[in-house]
């Protein structure tokens, strides 16, 4: 597989179906922060909340902008730490893991 | 960074980029937007981005209606290659009391006179729009098909890209630290990346509007209050309109990609710039929404977040140049609706800076109204 096909076929974010090519294109256009990429491509907005794509995007940004990972601000984590059904919360905070 | 500009706009939210775009379109050169983080990192990127023409005063109806007309064509107007995702499924506003119904009747008369296609509908008719709506406490509803909601990041992106094409310089990750004035006139903006000489500054700093105004010694009667919001996992299309109710204290939409986004106002929200999330919000939101839209019980909430409402005493924005500091323009205090009026915010402030007559009279929204005690009364605020 050539580089281009590889970029097009590699899925970075499974929740929002985003490819490596889309992420790299956006970084090239100047959206060089994970938070900026997220707001255009929805990477990290799906059910897994960036648990898979977060580290991958950090690495891409680091490579393409020549920064180290710890110089880049990752996605913010927000509650709930695990998805909960609205009905369960309404009934009084029962967890839906039964 | 350049060291001289004609206009410096503080804040890269929807207001700032809309003002920049409109100014550039009118031919103003050397415009700079300064944003301390990324674009839409303030209230804009945290908001519900609902847009409605259903207001209760002529001025607000016209500002909101004209803004909707712009958003309808924003992809073309701004030559945007992505899509601002305007889902124009209407706003369904639920009244639960007779008093609310009477107010809505008055509002509708005004809206219809101004060409806004809103109408009153019975709870049975509301059920035709949202079949699973629990109407047990609904007296009546209003529906306006041109209302809806938008993707706020992409709307900001669209304006920013269009502004940059017209020559506007946007400095992200740059913070305004101070403003230097001499004899009541603006001299320069001090940022953490250098100084920019200018005569004109626009304060479009959202939740930080008060702090920016303090830099020139102007005291704004505003405060910033946390407002919370949440999103569920995406599901198949099952809700067309934005469902909202003042008396039930809720709004709820389904975005084009399938997630439900909803919010409500809290009773004791902090006003110290905090944008953390609380369990109390999640709990009350879940109880309110599952009562009104029962199938939402089955949806999984995946994230909650918060942003700031910049609130004025009459919950109306403050627009225009300050009397005390020449060249200092305000586009602040949107009190929870700055997104839906942003196209007109941009146009109206640009007109004022260019010395043109405003296309909608907004003189009643000047800062001086508070000194004079001439507050604006708008019955349709959340
Ligand atoms: C939960 C929630 C829901 C909402 N729902 C709606 C809705 O449905 N419809 C609607 O119309 N409105 C809604 N609003 C209100 C709306 O979000 C705001 O009124 C609007 O986004 C304001 O835009 P703005 O550009 O004026 O401010 P902001 O988007 O806050 O932008 C101001 C920018 O200024 C920057 N800044 C601040 N200080 C400095 C500094 N010193 N130097 C450089 N930059 C600085 C900030 O980083 C920020 O990005 C909602 C708000 C919240 C919080």
CB contact under 8 A, A79 and B277: yes
Mean pLDDT, to the nearest integer, of A53-74?
A: 96
Could you give the CA distance from residue B75 to residue B150 in angstroms, rounded to a whole number? 12
Candidates A39, A78, A96; nearest CB to B153: A39
- The mean pLDDT of A87-95, rounded to a whole number, is 79
Selected from 3.40.50.1970, 1.10.1270.20, 3.50.50.60, 3.40.50.300, the CATH number assigned to the domain covering B7-47+153-222+314-372 reads 3.50.50.60
Rounded Cα distance, B89 and B146, in Å: 7
Strands B7-10 and B200-203: parallel
- The CATH number of the domain covering residues in A3-91: 1.10.10.1100
Distance between CA B239 and CA B119 in Å, rounded? 19
| Residue of B285, B286, B293 to mutate for A, most A C-beta atoms under 10 A | B286
- The tens digit of pLDDT for each residue in A2-13 reads 888 999 999 999
CA distance B185 to B183: 5
- Residue B269 makes CB contacts below 8 A (sequence gap 6+) with B225, B226, B227, B228
Evaluate if residue A98 carries a pLDDT over 50: no
Per-residue pLDDT of chain B (382 residues; tens, 9 = 90+): 999 999 999 999 999 999 999 999 999 999 999 999 999 999 999 999 999 999 999 999 999 999 999 999 999 999 999 999 999 999 999 999 999 999 999 999 999 999 999 999 999 999 999 999 999 999 999 999 999 999 999 999 999 999 999 999 999 999 999 999 998 899 999 999 999 999 999 999 999 999 999 999 999 999 999 999 999 999 999 999 999 999 999 999 999 999 999 999 999 999 999 999 999 999 999 999 999 999 999 999 999 999 999 999 999 999 999 999 999 999 999 999 999 999 999 999 999 999 999 999 999 999 999 999 999 988 876 5
Nearest chain A CA: its distance from B198 CA (Å): 27
- Residue A96 predicted with pLDDT over 90: no
pLDDT at B382: 55
Between 3.40.50.620, 3.40.718.10, 3.30.9.10, 3.40.50.300, what CATH number should domain B88-145+224-309 receive?
3.30.9.10
pLDDT of residue B74: 98
Residue found by looking up tokens 């020139």 in the block: B216
Q: Which residues of A touch B283 (CB under 8 A)?
A: 89-90, 93
Report residues whose beta carbon is within 6 angstroms of any ligand 1 atom.
Answer: B 10-16, 34-37, 41-44, 46-50, 175-176, 204-208, 227, 229, 263, 307-309, 334, 336-340
d(CA B221, CA B366): 12
In Å, the largest CA–CA distance within chain A is 54
DSSP state of B326: B
Q: Give the residue range(s) of CATH 3.30.9.10 domains in chain B.
A: 88-145+224-309
Identify which of B42, B375, B27, B353 has the alpha carbon closest to the alpha carbon of residue B206.
Answer: B42
């Amino acid at each position: 597989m050539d580089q281009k096909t590889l970029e097009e076929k590699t899925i970075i974010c499974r929740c929002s179906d985003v490819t490596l090519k889309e992420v790299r294109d956006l970084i090239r256009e100047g959206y060089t922060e994970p938070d900026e990429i997220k707001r255009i491509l929805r990477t990290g907005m799906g059910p897994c909340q960036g648990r898979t794509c977060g580290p991958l995007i950090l690495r891409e940004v680091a490579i393409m902008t020549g920064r180290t990972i710890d110089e880049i601000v990752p996605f913010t984590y927000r509650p709930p730490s695990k998805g909960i059904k609205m009905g369960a919360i309404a009934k009084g905070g029962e967890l839906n893991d039964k | 960074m350049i060291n001289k500009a004609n206009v410096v706009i503080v804040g890269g939210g929807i207001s700032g980029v809309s003002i920049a775009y409109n100014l550039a379109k009118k031919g103003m050169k050397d415009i700079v937007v300064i944003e301390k983080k990324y674009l839409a990192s303030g209230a804009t990127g945290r908001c519900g981005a609902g847009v409605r023409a259903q207001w209760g005063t002529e001025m607000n109806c016209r500002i909101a209606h004209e803004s909707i007309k712009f958003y309808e064509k924003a992809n073309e107007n701004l030559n945007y290659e992505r899509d601002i995702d305007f889902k124009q499924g209407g706003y369904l506003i639920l009244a639960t009391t007779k008093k609310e119904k009477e107010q809505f009747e008055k509002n509708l008369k005004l809206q219809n006179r101004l060409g806004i296609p809103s109408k009153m509908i019975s709870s049975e008719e509301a059920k035709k729009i949202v079949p699973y709506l629990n109407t047990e406490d609904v007296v009546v509803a209003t529906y306006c098909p041109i209302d809806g909601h938008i993707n706020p990041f992409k709307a900001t992106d669209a304006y920013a890209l269009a502004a940059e094409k017209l020559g506007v310089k946007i400095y992200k990750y740059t913070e305004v630290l101070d403003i230097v004035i001499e004899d009541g006139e603006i001299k320069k903006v001090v940022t953490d990346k250098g100084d920019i000489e200018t005569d004109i500054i626009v304060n479009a700093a959202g939740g930080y509007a008060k702090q920016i105004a303090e830099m020139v010694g102007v005291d704004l009667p505003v405060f910033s209050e946390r407002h919370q919001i949440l999103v569920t996992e995406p599901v198949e299309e099952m809700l067309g309109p934005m469902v909202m109710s003042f008396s039930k204290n809720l709004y709820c939409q389904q975005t084009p990609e399938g997630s439900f986004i909803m919010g409500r106002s809290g009773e004791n929200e902090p006003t110290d710039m905090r944008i953390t999330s609380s369990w109390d919000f999640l709990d009350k939101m879940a109880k309110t929404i599952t009562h009104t839209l029962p199938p939402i019980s089955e949806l999984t909430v995946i994230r909650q977040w918060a942003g700031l409402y910049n609130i004025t005493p009459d919950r109306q924005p403050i627009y225009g140049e300050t009397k005390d500091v020449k060249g200092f323009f305000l586009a602040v205090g949107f009190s929870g609706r700055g997104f839906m009026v942003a196209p007109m915010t941009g146009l109206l402030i640009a007109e004022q800076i260019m010395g043109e007559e405003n296309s909608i009279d907004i003189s009643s929204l000047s800062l001086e109204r508070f000194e004079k005690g001439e507050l604006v009364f708008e019955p349709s605020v959340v």
